[in-house]
């Protein structure tokens, strides 16, 4: 057998040993099993269930109607006609409405002045005041959009009646009150669902974070108990770095291939999320994304001396990483330094590419730049993982060698003991 074949055989044996020990560590450690196997399934189900209604409906508002006329009552009825709002309270004055607002009983106030009908029917300009809670943007959008649409509809109806009363025919009156007719088409998210918007990005960040935390916990455990050198095959004095990195990576990739298959297949269908991309493009993209996340996790895990360090240092990064991806806040508005840092994270490219594939139906050519960047990150973090693993193994070997020397020194007889053995009658 040649030297090269012996080396390949040794690498293969080490790789299988690493994978076997990695699987044993994952499935016998309850904490690691929860993070690496169950967390993705639990988080994706919980978040999807919370966003299951997709659209916010029936937001309570209050109305202060000081006009108390048929015209004002007609306007109030329009507020109840839409699906987004309903008039929960008919307040007597603004003071009462303000109390309801700050008690969170209502999220918007409409003030109709006493001269509303006189101004509206007399040819003047009627003023209606709207107060909407802007501390919650989703609530603000639903209430404001519904109220403005209702008021605009009332204004158009009044103007139409004025023109007909002046002798204009119905087509002329319609063309004057509504000179432009538009059709709205909501692309990629036709029902404007919040879950459809948020869940693709959240799932990708969950994949990255669970990998980082889980791999970090295992890396800390291996360093804490000195398990790297125990994987060294019989007859070899050292453990090679590349089989360790590749073996660990294949173990994690095989587990996440199963969990992501469930999430992106069955889970997506259960919650009716868009699946517009081709299967081949999605599989290739997810392979590149998982490779980048796994190599980053292995590289980071070499920095932890204890398993708890992974939770303490990585758990809080989930929300910043989600924001740096450009989903919750436009990437163009992120400061340049943070945007450059975000490009070093697999989640930034993973979220953008995944949304374009699944939600927008992008082809392989459309997401090829993201795949290239993920491959570059895989090579970068794979190199750092090999360097970090090599240093960790080297430190463990040095530590074991020193401990062996210490034990041998303590077990070997000292010079005085030898002298006593040779001269038993001499007492020192």
Residue pLDDT, tens place only, 306-320: 888 888 888 888 888
Residue 193 has phi, psi (to 5 degrees) of -75, 135
pLDDT score at 354: 95
The per-residue pLDDT for range 118-132, each reduced to its tens digit, is: 888 777 788 899 999
User: Looking at the predicted structure, is the pLDDT value of residue 328 above 90?
Assistant: no
pTM across the whole model: 0.83
Question: What's the mean pLDDT in 134-154?
Answer: 85
Please tell me whether residue 59 adopts helix, strand or coil conformation.
strand
Question: What's the mean pLDDT in 364-387?
Answer: 95
Residues above pLDDT 70, as percent of the chain = 90
Rounded CA separation 302/223 (Å): 8
Rounded CA separation 82/408 (Å): 85
Residue 156 tokens read as 């158009």
Nearest CA among 120, 96, 118, 119 for reference residue 109: 96
pLDDT score at 382: 95
> Which residue, chain included where needed, has tokens 């000195």?
226
The per-residue pLDDT for range 171-206, each reduced to its tens digit, is: 877 777 777 777 888 888 887 888 888 899 999 999
Alpha helices, DSSP H, located in 51-112: 70-81, 94-102
Residues 6+ apart with CB under 8 A from 210: 35, 36, 39, 40, 43
Rounded CA separation 374/401 (Å): 40
Residue 85 has phi, psi (to 5 degrees) of -130, 160
Residue-range domains of the chain with CATH: 8-51+193-407 (no CATH), 59-177 (3.40.1710.10)
Rounded CA separation 138/171 (Å): 38
User: Looking at the predicted structure, is the pLDDT value of residue 339 above 80?
Assistant: yes
> Which residue, chain included where needed, has tokens 């060698």?
401
pLDDT score at 344: 94
Q: Identify the sign of the CA torsion 222, 226, 228, 230.
A: negative
> Which residue, chain included where needed, has tokens 């809670």?
133
> Is the model more confident about 418 or about 184?
184
Highest mean pLDDT range out of 9-13, 16-20, 254-258? 254-258
Residue 415's pLDDT band, with cuts at 50, 70 and 90, is very low
> Is the model more confident about 205 or about 402?
205
């Amino acid at each position: 057998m040649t030297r090269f074949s012996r080396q390949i055989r040794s690498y293969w044996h080490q790789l299988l040993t690493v994978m076997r020990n990695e699987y044993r560590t994952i499935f016998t450690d309850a904490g690691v099993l929860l993070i690496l196997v169950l967390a993705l399934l639990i988080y994706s189900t919980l978040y999807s269930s919370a966003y299951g209604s997709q659209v916010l409906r029936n937001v309570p508002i209050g109305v202060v109607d000081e006009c108390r006329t048929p015209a004002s009552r007609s306007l109030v009825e329009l507020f109840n006609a839409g699906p987004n709002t309903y008039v929960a309270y008919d307040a007597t004055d603004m003071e009462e409405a303000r109390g309801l607002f700050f008690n969170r009983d209502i999220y918007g106030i409409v003030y109709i002045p006493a001269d509303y009908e006189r101004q509206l029917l007399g040819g003047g300009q009627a003023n209606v005041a709207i107060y909407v809670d802007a501390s919650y943007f989703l609530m603000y959008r639903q209430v404001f959009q519904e109220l403005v649409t209702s008021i605009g509809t009332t204004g158009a109806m009044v103007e139409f009646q004025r023109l007909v009363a002046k002798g204009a025919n119905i087509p002329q009156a319609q063309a004057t009150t509504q000179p432009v007719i538009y059709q709205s088409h909501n692309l990629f998210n036709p029902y404007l669902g919040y879950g459809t918007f948020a869940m693709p990005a959240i799932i990708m960040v969950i994949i990255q974070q669970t990998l980082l935390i889980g791999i970090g916990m295992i890396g800390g455990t291996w360093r804490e108990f000195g398990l790297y050198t125990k994987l060294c095959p019989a007859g070899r004095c050292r453990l090679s770095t590349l089989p360790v990195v590749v073996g660990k990576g294949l173990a994690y990739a095989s587990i996440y291939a199963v969990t992501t298959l469930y999430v992106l297949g069955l889970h997506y269908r259960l919650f009716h999320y868009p699946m517009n991309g081709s299967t081949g493009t999605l599989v290739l993209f997810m392979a590149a994304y998982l490779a980048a996340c796994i190599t980053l996790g292995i590289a980071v895990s070499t920095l932890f001396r204890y398993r708890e360090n992974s939770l303490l240092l990585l758990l809080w990064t989930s929300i910043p990483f989600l924001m740096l991806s450009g989903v919750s806040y436009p990437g163009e508005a992120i400061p340049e330094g943070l945007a450059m840092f975000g490009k070093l994270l697999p989640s930034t490219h993973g979220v953008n590419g995944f949304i374009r594939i699944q939600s927008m139906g992008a082809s392989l050519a459309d997401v090829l730049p993201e795949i290239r960047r993920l491959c570059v990150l895989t090579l970068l973090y794979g190199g750092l993982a090999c360097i970090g693993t090599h240093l960790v193994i080297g430190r463990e070997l040095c530590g074991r060698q020193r401990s062996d020397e210490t034990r041998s020194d303590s077990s070997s007889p000292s010079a005085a003991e030898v002298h006593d053995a040779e001269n038993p009658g001499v007492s020192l």
